[in-house]
Structure 1
Amino acid sequence: MKLVIPVVSLETGGTRFIYQLANEMVDKGHSVEIVLPENASVAWPLRAQVTRVKELTPYTIPPADFILPNFYPTVFPAWESKKGRVVRLSLGYEPLWVEDKEKALASYLIDAPIIAISQWHRQLIFQGTGRNSTVIHGGVDSTVFHPYPKKSLSTGRLSIVYILRSKEHGYTWKGIEDFWEACQNLAQLVPAFDVQVVAPEGANYQAPLPYEIVKAHSDSEMARFYAQADIFASTSYFESFSMPPLEAMACGTAVVTTDNGGNRDYTKNGENCLLVPPSDIQQLTLVLAHLLSQEKERNRLALAGLQFAQPWTWRHSADKLEALLYQLART
């Protein structure tokens, strides 16, 4: 079948869903065309056809069996083009966080099926619109995200890694201050540990303790970042799915994460990770201290997370998308 996916851009973050699903659908034998503005960023290695247009309008959308708009500004050009059946792919329920809430809400009220990326995300859409949706989870590429030797084996110092996305770049829900406060408290409980961060937007945070910025511009570099660490921490208040903790699990690293909603489909507290409530700095501190001081528990969680992540493949996600589209084609 022919799929057209209009996008505003393909930068890092949630657009990984589009890139991974597009590539997997190409590998399954479908024709996939990504349509985006001529100056838009593309951060991912696409195997799908890429078509650049001056702007996304009904006239610049190519014909297809299915058109999968995602971020709300792409929905209306797709819908008005009448060039294929529209399926609304939601990577996040935009009325909760964009300025143009009315237009964002309207993008869910057209007569098109909706795809959500977690059960929590599906519930948000239902509460906001009264409309149901089909859940297609994200995945992880275990040929890239897999274990490497821990850096602490050679240095003798345990390390915590973190993805630094600052408020100055619009990431107000990532809980960055909570992470640094917990690390500051942690330094009073655990004598020696290292903190390393990846800063995708180049943020340089004035932290209360030393940390190292690691450059990771590719998936393989990101995998090494996760894998060489002893603990990966995530402090978001909410996420539609939250891929980094799953990627860290696949890299054999113990995960500490907030219960951000979107990760509930794959996080099992005490089984494959340790969960803490968002903004609970005291509990975050204690959990990190526990894992830093308990090697056996840290290794147990890391192994359980690694085993749990194996079935969460992007091919499985593409299989579910393909099945949904074939079902829609029959109706």
Structure 2
Amino acid sequence: MKITFILPKLTRHPTGGGKIVYQYANAMANAGHSVEVLHPETLFLWNLRKNPFLMLLSLAADCARLLRGWMGRSASIVSWMTIDPAVKIRVVPALFPRYIPHADVVVASLWRTAEYVENYPASKGAKFYFIQHHETWSGPERRVNQTLMSSMNKIVISGWLRDVVKDLSGDDAYQVPNPVDHDEFFPTAPIANRRHLVSMLYSPHIWKGAADGLAALALAKRKFPDMEAILFGISPRPDALPSWIKYVQNPAKRVLREEIYNASSIYMCPSWTEGWGLPVLEAMACGCAIVTSDNGGTRDFVVNEENGLVVAPKSPDALGQALMSLLADAERCTIFAVRSVEMAKEFTLQASVSKLVAALEDRPVAEMRC
């Protein structure tokens, strides 16, 4: 099968959605499929600007990027992940049909890429839309929802996204759960001996709930002065972060596994909404009990009172109370962490790739959930 994946602009920093697509590209190329991943120089987002002056500036920037793409000046290198040599990575000027190869299947991965893919001629391949979030945070809700209501074949990563697609379009989407890389994330430190350390992904996006997470940590710190916290993210350390909280920018894989996840007894996810929540699953694979908001995505692998505690979104006090509950009960925290490891084992790359191939070949998937 010849497959074209369409991703947004190639970035120098890791992205969760990009990582998943690259993992699938590697695995499918290794299985003998012909796989190409395309990144556009520009998605022409200038018309999302509300200010006319900013709109013109954005249009000029888009045109400059298009020209750079025509001149072939962009390197097609993913610096933060190992790509199978059989996978072709290519930067194209834009997502116009002339730059898209003929294939058996073409897969959109972002609402704006879906707007292009929906209108491709049949020669570009059967049209699929790989939905990793309800992306109203990155574009106008009307346009985002229109892509979810399109005639493309839809693949979702979580149960709540399947429900969103069903409610909007009436379509039954294929569900292909995101895998965790078990060669990369696994327990290396005894679970029962871990200190009171809470880890959390930090993101400046408001819907990621960082402010709620920091408030919860401050609340727990007052009752448990020995509690430590370590945050990580791609942005520089926030100025307002208390000095007692450690922060790691762009941690290497080994650091993320050894010094963050495996050092932690609890991983906290304060997001208001998540398409999946891959860092949570990675932390589970490394032996963390989970405290999370009910953000949608994590429902597929965090079960309240089984491997973690789930509270309502936008509830920093409830997050803090959940943290304190686990910090006060080491035995319960350890039980949750051990269960997390076992639950994470269900989400393998092999299982997910099998489901994805079945979806792309338009065969029924006997079991829609790992």
TM-score by length of 1: 0.90
Give per-residue Cα distances to partners, 1:17-60, cap 9 Å, x unaligned: 21222122122221110011355884432222101212221110
Identify the range of structure 1 (36-45 vs 208-217) with the bigger mean alpha-carbon deviation.
36-45
Going from structure 1 to structure 2, the CA distance change for 1:325 and 1:13 (only over 3 Å counts) comes to closer
Give the Cα–Cα distance (whole angstroms) in 2 for the partners of residues 208 and 52 of structure 1: 41
Runs of 5+ unmatched residues, structure 2: 42-73, 365-370
Pair 265,152 (structure 1): closer, same or farther in 2 beyond 3 Å: closer
Instruction: Say whether the 8 Å CA contact 1:140–1:309 is kept in structure 2.
Output: yes
Q: Secondary structure at the match of 2:291?
A: strand
Of residues 219, 225, 234, the one that matches 1:191 is: 225
**Which of the numbers 20, 23, 33 marks the counterpart of 1:20?**
23
Q: For residues 196 and 32 of structure 1, what CA distance do their matches in structure 2 show?
A: 38
SS in 2 for 1:9: coil
Instruction: Give the unaligned 5+ runs of structure 1.
Output: none
Check 1:290–1:325 CA distance in 2 against 1; reply closer, same or farther (3 A cut): same
User: Matched residues in 2 for 1:88 and 1:28: separation?
Assistant: 22
- 1:76 Cα offset (Å): 3.6
The percentage of counterpart residues that share the same residue type is 28
C-alpha distance 217-9 of structure 1, shift in aligned 2 (>3 A): farther
Structure 2: distance between partners of 1:80 and 1:173: 31
Q: Does 1:296 align with 2:331?
A: yes
Q: Aligned to 2:223, what secondary structure does the other structure show?
A: coil
SS at match of 1:128: helix
The amino acid of 2:212's aligned partner reads D
Instruction: Give the aligned partner of residue 130 of structure 1.
Output: 170
Distance 2:77 2:159 in 1: 30
- Secondary structure of 2:108's partner? coil
Q: Are residues 1:308 and 2:343 paired?
A: yes
- How far the C-alpha of 1:150 sits from its partner, in A, is 6.1
Code of the aligned partner of 1:242:
G
1:81 aligned counterpart, secondary structure: coil
Q: Distance in 1 between matches of 2:190 and 2:230?
A: 13
Structure 1 residue corresponding to 2:355, chosen from 296, 320, 324 = 320
Residue in structure 2 matched with residue 176 of structure 1 by the alignment: 210
Instruction: Choose from 84, 109, 125 the match for 1:84.
Output: 125
Residue 36 (1) aligns with residue 75 (2): no
Residue 254 of structure 2 is matched in structure 1 by 220
SS class of match (1:87): strand
- Over 3 Å counting, the alpha-carbon distance change for 1:204 and 1:328 in structure 2 is same
Whichever residue aligns with residue 82 of structure 2, its letter is P
- Note the C-alpha offset of 1:80: 3.2
Give the count of matched residue pairs: 322
Q: 1:4 to 1:138 in 2, by over 3 A?
A: same
Alignment of 1:246-261 (within 5 A): 246-261=281-296
- Alignment counterpart, residue 306 of structure 2, candidates 258, 266, 271: 271
Whichever residue aligns with residue 245 of structure 1, its letter is V
Q: Provide the C-alpha distance between the structure 2 equivalents of 1:34 and 1:280, rounded to a whole number of angstroms.
A: 39
Offset of 1:297 from its aligned partner?
A: 1.2
Tell me whether 127-136 or 236-245 shows the greater mean CA deviation.
127-136
Q: Which amino acid is the alignment partner of residue 277 of structure 2? A: S
Quote how far apart the aligned CAs of 1:243 are. 1.0
> Which residue is equivalent to 1:140?
180
1:150/1:229 contact within 8 Å kept: no
Instruction: Please tell me whether the aligned partners of residues 150 and 230 of structure 1 are also in contact (alpha carbons under 8 angstroms).
Output: no
What is the root-mean-square deviation in Å for CA atoms of aligned residues? 2.3
Distance in 2 of aligned mates of 1:269 and 1:44: 33
Structure 1 contact 240–261 (Cα < 8 Å) conserved? yes
* 1:283 positional shift: 2.3
Query: Which amino acid is the alignment partner of residue 69 of structure 1?
Result: A
Secondary structure of 2:236 counterpart: coil
Aligned partners of 1:204, 1:219: CA distance in 2, in Å?
22
